[in-house]
Amino acid sequence: MLPIRSAWDTDLPARCRPSDAFPWRFRRQLSLLTRPVVETVTSPRTFFISVPQLEKGVAYWLGNLNDGYFPREFFASKEMRRFIGSIARRRGQEFTRSVGTMFNEAGYSFDIEIEVTALGASKHAGLGDIDILAWQTNTGRVFAAECKRLQTALTPREVIQRLEDFRGSREQKDSLGRHLRRVDWLRANLDALAAWTKIPLEQLTLTPLLIPSEIVPMQFFEDMDFPTDHVVPFDDLPSFLSKLSA
């Protein structure tokens, strides 16, 4: 239900963030798609319902639930938060496996979701896992890839939001900063990679990659703290790998 508010950006319902009121943002809680039942009078409580809009809202909810695209903050119950988290994880793992298959078809060995602690990092470092570690013994190439299943950025503001999410700050917990910290650790511990991949240390070359599910603005943003030529959309990965072998 979309409640009456004293102003468009005030009196936000529980669990809503200020950005949920911004009309230029997508996938926000205070929109007609998310809340197609509109309160028009508080006493007696009266609501406006458009049947076509309600139909669109239901389809919007079911589609985003099925794809795991809603943020956990949309939901109050622990059960729904666990559910949406499990869907997002499953979809993300499916995408990561697809990327691994693509590396394998290009002649690389690969492992998925390697905890950096398995390579020797301290558990207190909080580095998490490497989505894909792919390597080619005969060339010594090793790729540490972060795989991101993303929705299309539909507006200029969403493009900016995507850039904000991937600013690559090692100090902040954005979508790229943690990967950069993992890569920093790997570069300082190449002997651990050599032991894992069985590639002699003197022959090993490490390349970090960001592999999104589609074309993203980050690959054109030179001020990002990550090489733009190492942002390789999923569909471009085969040609990227084949050029290396040419």
Helix residue ranges, H only, the chain = 51-67, 78-105, 156-165, 177-188, 190-197, 237-245
Query: Domain map of the chain by residue range?
Result: 18-74, 89-245
Tokens matching residue 59: 């389809």
Please report, in tens digits, the pLDDT of each residue of the chain (246 residues total). Answer: 889 998 888 889 888 888 888 887 777 889 888 999 999 998 899 999 999 999 999 998 898 888 888 878 888 888 998 998 898 889 889 999 999 999 999 999 999 999 999 999 998 888 889 999 999 999 999 999 999 887 665 555 555 565 566 555 555 556 677 888 899 999 999 999 999 999 999 999 999 998 988 876 665 666 666 777 888 989 999 999 998 876
pLDDT (0 to 100) of residue 219: 59
Tokens matching residue 239: 């040609």
* Fold for the domain defined by 89-245: Trna Endonuclease; Chain: A, domain 1 (3.40.1350)
Backbone CA torsion sign across 233, 236, 239, 242: positive
pTM: 0.75
pLDDT (0 to 100) of residue 50: 92
pLDDT (0 to 100) of residue 238: 94
